[in-house]
Amino acid sequence: MDGNAKESISEALERLALALGENGAVPVAELVRALERAAERLRTRSVSTELPHDLITQAEASRAVGVSRQAVNQWVRNGVVRSFVRGGSGRHAPEVSMSEVAIAANRHTREVPFSTPMRKELIEFLLLLGRGSTGPLVRALRECIEDDNFPGEAGEQIRVLREFVLASMGDGENQHEFTAAGVKMLAEMSPRFEVDRQQPLGRLLDSLGLLVHSADGTDGFDSPATAILGLLGAATIGAQYPESDADAGRAIAAAAEKVWGAEWTARLYDAAFHIGELRPSPLTRYTASLTYLDNNRFLRQAQASGVSITYVRGPGPILPERFYGAHILADLLAGVRDETTVWKWSADRGPRTRPAQLPSTDNPFRGFHYEYGLLDASIYGIRRYCFSAADARDDLQTQLARLPEGQRPAYLELAIDTLARTLRQPYVELVSIARREDFDWWKDHIIRASEREILIGLRDERARSTAHGLLVQTSLLPKVVEAADSDGQLRERLRIYVKNLEFNVVDVRYHDDLRRGVGRIVKAGGRRLGEDEARTLAETEIRSLLA
């Protein structure tokens, strides 16, 4: 082929790319990323295998994941887990990917879904709450557990998600979360488990920011799992308030302790997980409080594939107020925290503001997000936690300026300690995204993602008045595309945008960011740090944000 022919092919490819971008068939940002990936693969096609970034020895993997060394060795020998040699020579011992070992461990050690003894204990707990204002909700939960015909998928859920995707198709200023019709649909979804806000339990749950509100005047929960989480929230944070409506929370805590003893908090989390597996909901509206309470259930579900990805603008492991919430942070800075239970604060410091009246940053349920989620060593899997360094820097400096001068050293020490504790966990992979513009629209909306579900954070105040986020089962995504069956062009555009919500695409973009230097690994998954090493790294990161 001569030079002119080659030039014409080049021009044709260029015109095709421009046409795709200018006509809106593919979002410009996605088109650029796709072309960059294609160019990189063409440049490196002689390299057959790219080494995973989380390589560790088999012994380290067995300790980090909590399985025997023999099991890891057997998985390698059977080809379940690949082994790699750095530098391509035998001078280095073969290593394995922490993520692959975690996935293999979970596939071979799956929990039995909702065993008979666990189900009986939950029913016993609900029976104890059958009287008073808790009665209607717990009766509905019992019926849900016992009814094998409990309705799962609903057409209105598909339509709501479709409206979100359609609004997202714009570029720049035309890119929105919801159309006006979508906001209306979102608000009109009726909760499956209604709660009367005029009753003590309803008043307590509402003040805790746990209820979703629908336009028809009904309030409650969209799924059985979130209803269980609501009871958990009332029995923990809710039970600590001195007002009379908190008696409902104290009654729930007493019933749970009667059934499960001192481990009742963990057992209620078990119940939320198993009832979520038994009766999954394709689309669930989440309040901010539910978002923080649910991280335990999400990570336990994500452990089937062994990897989850979280994007945050304000990272809890760096910003203490976002880790602990306002109530516990106040105790910590005053040096009077009750250390016996992670979600308690000092009772003798008087009444505190309820979560529904607090900004999300100060929500006291935030402690659950990390203590029972990100830092929970009983849950397998690599937790890829990516944060915006620019936003973290702004928030850190703002919080320091807001504090009295005498409390600033204590706050900084707390920030370093919290980050060091996170860095010590071998299953946490912490990634910093330096430039604000690289924390793009989609990252800002993916609160967390796994192979089985994705939680989309809502930023538009119109939509947020109804829900803080939308939990989407990935099995629902193909049905969003099918909803445009009569319009071929719309169907194709929906297919492209729905891909953005699928875990494998989120995962590819995550690795692309690392390859291109957009994301910087502060600490890789599978790497175990000692206390001194973790603290030194934490100090370096905090000081760099303040520089």
pLDDT band at 285 (very low <50, low <70, confident <90, very high): very high
Query: Closest by alpha carbon to 510, among 413, 440, 428, 435?
Result: 440
- Work out the percent of the chain whose per-residue pLDDT is above 90: 48
Q: Mean pLDDT: which of 12-21, 57-66, 276-285, 514-523 is highest?
A: 514-523
Q: Find tokens 């879904």 and name the residue.
A: 113
pLDDT of the residue at 89: 52
pLDDT of the residue at 154: 67
- Across the range 144-153, mean pLDDT stands at 77
List Cβ neighbours of 378 (8 Å cut-off, separation of 6 or more). none
Strand 95-97 relative to strand 83-84: parallel, antiparallel, unpaired?
antiparallel
- Tallying the residues shown for the chain, one arrives at 547
- Model confidence pLDDT, tens digit, residues 490-513: 777 777 778 778 898 899 899 999
Look at the alpha carbons of 444, 450, 454, 457 in this order and tell me if their dihedral is positive or negative. Answer: negative
- Across the range 197-206, mean pLDDT stands at 95
Rounded Cα distance between 60 and 57, Å, is 5
Encoded tokens for 457: 């954070």
For the chain, the average pLDDT equals 85
Residue 210, CA distances (Å) to 44, 80, 228, 355, 449 in order: 50, 42, 11, 9, 22
- Model confidence pLDDT, tens digit, residues 106-118: 666 555 467 788 8
| Res. 344: pLDDT tops 70 | yes
Quote the DSSP letter at residue 189. P
Q: Could you tell me which residue, 351 or 213, shows the higher pLDDT?
A: 213
Lowest mean pLDDT among 16-25, 38-47, 166-175, 262-271: 38-47
| Res. 288: pLDDT tops 80 | yes
pLDDT band at 433 (very low <50, low <70, confident <90, very high): very high
Reported pTM: 0.81
Element spanning 191, H or E: none
Q: Which residues pair with 310 in a beta bridge?
A: 385
Q: What is the largest CA-CA distance in the chain?
A: 86
| Res. 224: pLDDT tops 80 | yes
Rounded Cα distance between 241 and 432, Å, is 37
- Model confidence pLDDT, tens digit, residues 436-482: 999 987 888 899 999 999 999 988 888 888 899 999 988 888 887 77
* Amino acid, single-letter form, for residue 443: K
- Across the range 126-132, mean pLDDT stands at 92
Q: Could you tell me which residue, 296 or 151, shows the higher pLDDT?
A: 296
What is the SS3 assignment for 480? helix
Look at the alpha carbons of 327, 332, 333, 335 in this order and tell me if their dihedral is positive or negative. Answer: positive
